[in-house]
């Protein structure tokens, strides 16, 4: 499930969780796994304390630590299934240490923690984050701006481009402020090192002379475009992996966190306007960016329940993917459309007596695409989590944006039910056993000759499709790679005019035991004609890893384009600009090298996955670092401009 979806999420979360070494109760999710957790296009699976130690920082003995018993006695009853709305343990393990402590020390969990001593609260937090906290101090933040740099520029509002506005990820010459001729002269202008982070998964947005971006510990930053100093900070409940969506008209920002909460902030002050929980399932999350359109904001809902099935005692599964329409002014829900229509019901029992529930799954990992002309919404789904596989998984869906009524469903791969139990080799693996081929990237509405529009969809199968937006009929199919668990199209394609640029991951070693024909690998960048599906050119990524750990040459992150240029971040840490006419490399930089960031701290990038570059006001802005499921960690936000000026 290596995706901006299942796998990717798992890597993002499960890799830390399954990886960390233990489970707190029979219903808490996976126990210490004998084999790696599901590849999640996200992160490295940590199999032992020694492995944690090798990544830097002190660790605890998870099994003998007093926090384990304290958690099981005081917390597990609610967080591992007893209270439907309580985040499960896997999510708590994703939170920053100070956020967990703050929740117990006067925060949302203060009443439940009232009988615990200060030491006991600390020990529970230590157990969850796997590190001693006796002398813990939150890491230093990037420096705040002075009075002059802190001012926003009302004459420079955000453009309605990129995730959250237009999933084609194209910036015009005027919007980009950068020409193809300027690209070879790009140099690092400044960088931010996210504190205590191993990954950078929130795509920034630009507006009012600032860059807005989220981070691993849940902090949202408003950064001065010129210098990188901080104008304001806002702390969300947990990690932000969606893009920050800016609305020029209301001067508001919208985003989601990994606990399935959607937020609206005042862009000028960072003040919370509203916060809304979009799904009550304990494993629900928001991975795809909310989409603004037609007076509503559409929030995709995905889930980590796919990893809970690694525990053969877990009754799998009950989550159903969804898109939720909210009022941008208040956060009030207008409608909710689930991908799996039927309510889960008992489907029998596994050989060890665990209840099987289904149908389930079909998460929405991607940002929905809104079409103002038809007032429709288009989005893709992932695999089912349990038997039976139904007609809603690995599919493209169209709904009426006003009502949420489903208009059509086109399934690209039938019979795909899969969960981490398949990687564990346990009884929770559905009888279908995969192949786990989500539609993880956003569908693109691309204009074609004659005034028509093609809906172009990329899949983890390594295939790209052209669909009729009116009825979902498949008009063409083009195979660009071998695809698979960590193959095919992951986080996002881009389009300039009628040409679609398709990034392909196709890892050589997917760590899932499946063997792929290396001759069919499409790892690299492909250009496809949206009208016909004809491949115009391809540039396969050269392998410069030379045996380096957690290094792969393919492109997992979303790509972005301006006239004549496509920007792509590779899993090996290379950030490159390609000529959109022929794929020639115009510029390349190694983001894994250590740099001196704003505030005088050192940082480095790593594997590039998830969000893509943002090009605005003459700047090229990108994150680097994806320390999840076999990808290299890093903690940089990097800003490039012509000659670094």
Give the pair of three-digit tokens for residue 8.
């990717």
Phi, psi (degrees; rounded to nearest 5) at 81: 125, -20
Domains annotated for the chain, with CATH where assigned, are 6-129 (no CATH), 173-642 (2.140.10.10)
Angstrom distance (rounded) from CA 127 to CA 132 = 8
What is the mean predicted confidence (pLDDT) over 192-210? 95
Q: Per-residue DSSP letters for 65-77?
A: -HHHHHHHHHTHH
Q: Three-state SS for 479?
A: strand
Q: What is the mean pLDDT of residues 331-359?
A: 97
15 or 32, higher pLDDT: 15
Q: What whole-number distance in Å separates Cα of residue 36 and Cα of residue 607?
A: 19
Q: Residue 511's pLDDT is what?
A: 73
Query: Which residues are CB-contacts of 173 (< 8 A; sequence separation ≥ 6)?
Result: 179, 562, 563
Evaluate the CA torsion angle 493, 286, 10, 221 in order and state its sign.
Answer: positive
Strand partners, 525: 503, 539
> Looking at per-residue confidence, does 45 or 500 come out higher?
500
Q: Write out the two tokens for 411.
A: 């399934």
3-state DSSP assignment of residue 504: strand
Per the CB < 8 A criterion, the answer to whether 531 and 449 are in contact is yes
Poorest-pLDDT segment among 49-53, 57-61, 235-239, 297-301: 49-53
Cis peptide before 317 (omega within 30 of 0): yes
Query: What's the count of helices (H) and strands (E) in the chain, helices before strands?
Result: 11, 37
Give the per-residue pLDDT at 83: 58
**Comparison of pLDDT for 82 and 497, the residue scoring more:** 497
Residue with tokens 């794929």: 583
Tokens read off for 178: 């950068």
pLDDT, position 235: 94
Q: Which of 326, 323, 331, 459 is nearest to 399 (CA)?
A: 323
pLDDT given at position 485: 84
The token pair at 604 is 């480095």
Residue spans of alpha helices (H) in 76-232: 76-77, 89-92, 97-104, 118-129, 173-176
% of the chain surpassing 70 pLDDT = 90
CA separation for the pair 122, 113 (Å, rounded):
11
Q: What is the pTM of this model?
A: 0.88
Residue 325 neighbours by CB under 8 Å, 6+ apart: 296, 297, 298, 299, 333, 334, 335, 336, 401, 404
SS3 53: helix
User: pLDDT digit string (tens) for 75-112?
Assistant: 887 787 665 556 778 767 777 787 788 778 876 677 78
Q: Does the pLDDT of residue 27 top 80, yes or no? A: no
Cα gap 173→105, rounded to integer Å:
51
42: nearest Cα among 436, 489, 645, 630: 630
- Rounded to 10 deg, the angle between the 118-129 and 97-104 helix axes is 150
Model confidence over 629-638: pLDDT tens digits?
789 999 999 9
Distance in angstroms (rounded) separating the CA atoms of residues 220 and 232 = 8
Hey, which residues does 445 pair with through a beta bridge? 455
């Amino acid at each position: 499930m290596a995706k901006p979806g299942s796998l990717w999420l798992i890597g993002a979360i499960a890799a830390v969780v399954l990886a960390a070494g233990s489970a707190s109760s029979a219903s808490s999710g996976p126990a210490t796994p004998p084999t790696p957790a599901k590849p999640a296009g996200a992160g490295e699976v940590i199999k032992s304390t020694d492995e944690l130690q090798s990544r830097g920082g002190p660790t605890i003995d998870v099994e003998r630590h007093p926090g384990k018993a304290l958690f099981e006695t005081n917390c597990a009853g609610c967080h591992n299934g007893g209270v439907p709305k309580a985040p499960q343990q896997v999510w708590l393990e994703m939170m920053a240490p100070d956020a967990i402590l703050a929740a117990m020390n006067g925060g949302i969990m203060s009443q439940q923690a009232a009988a615990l001593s200060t030491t006991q609260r600390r020990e529970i937090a230590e157990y969850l984050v796997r590190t001693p906290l006796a002398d813990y101090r939150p890491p230093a933040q990037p420096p705040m701006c002075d009075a002059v740099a802190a001012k926003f520029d009302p004459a420079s509002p955000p453009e309605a481009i990129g995730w959250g506005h237009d999933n084609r990820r194209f910036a015009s010459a005027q919007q980009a402020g950068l020409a193809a001729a300027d690209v070879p002269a790009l140099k690092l202008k400044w960088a931010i090192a996210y504190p205590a982070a191993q990954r950078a998964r929130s795509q920034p947005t630009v507006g009012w002379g600032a860059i807005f971006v989220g981070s691993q510990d849940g902090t949202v930053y408003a950064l001065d475009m010129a210098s990188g100093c901080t104008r304001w900070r806002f702390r969300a409940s947990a990690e932000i992996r969606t893009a920050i969506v800016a609305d020029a008209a209301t001067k508001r920002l919208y985003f989601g966190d990994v606990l399935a909460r959607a937020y609206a902030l005042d862009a000028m002050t960072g003040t919370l306007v509203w916060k809304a929980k979009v799904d009550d399932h304990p494993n629900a999350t928001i991975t795809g960016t909310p989409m603004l359109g037609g007076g509503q904001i559409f929030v995709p809902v995905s889930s980590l329940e796919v990893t809970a099935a690694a525990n053969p005692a877990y009754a799998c599964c009950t989550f159903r993917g969804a898109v939720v329409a909210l009022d941008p002014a208040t956060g009030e829900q207008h409608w909710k459309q689930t991908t799996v229509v039927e309510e889960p019901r008992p489907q029998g029992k596994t050989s060890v007596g665990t209840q099987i529930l289904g149908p389930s799954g079909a998460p929405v990992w991607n940002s929905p695409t809104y079409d103002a002309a038809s007032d429709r919404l288009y989005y893709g789904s992932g695999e089912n989590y349990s038997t039976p596989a139904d007609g809603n998984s690995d599919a493209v869906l169209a709904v009426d944006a006003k009502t949420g009524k489903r208009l059509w469903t086109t399934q690209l791969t039938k019979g795909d039910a899969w969960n981490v139990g398949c990687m564990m080799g346990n009884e929770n693996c559905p009888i279908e056993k995969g192949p786990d081929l989500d539609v993880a990237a956003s569908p693109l509405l691309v204009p074609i000759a004659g005034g028509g529009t093609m809906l172009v969809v990329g899949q983890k199968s390594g295939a790209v499709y052209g669909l009729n937006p009116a009825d979902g009929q498949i008009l063409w199919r083009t195979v660009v790679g071998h695809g698979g668990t960590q193959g095919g199209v992951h986080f996002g394609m881009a389009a300039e005019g009628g040409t679609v640029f398709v990034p392909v991951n196709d890892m050589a070693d997917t760590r899932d035991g499946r063997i792929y024909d290396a001759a069919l690998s499409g790892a690299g960048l492909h250009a496809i004609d949206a009208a016909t599906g004809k491949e115009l050119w391809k540039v396969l990524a050269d392998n410069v890893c030379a045996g380096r750990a957690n290094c792969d040459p393919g492109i997992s992150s979303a790509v972005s384009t301006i006239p004549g240029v496509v920007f792509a971040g590779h899993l090996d840490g290379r950030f490159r600009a390609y000529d959109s006419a022929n794929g020639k490399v115009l510029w390349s930089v190694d983001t894994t090298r250590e740099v001196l960031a704003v505030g005088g701290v050192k940082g480095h990038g790593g594997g590039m996955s998830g969000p893509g570059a943002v090009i605005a006001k003459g700047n090229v802005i990108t994150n680097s670092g994806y320390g999840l499921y076999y990808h290299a960690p890093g903690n940089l936000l990097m800003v490039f401009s012509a000659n670094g000026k």
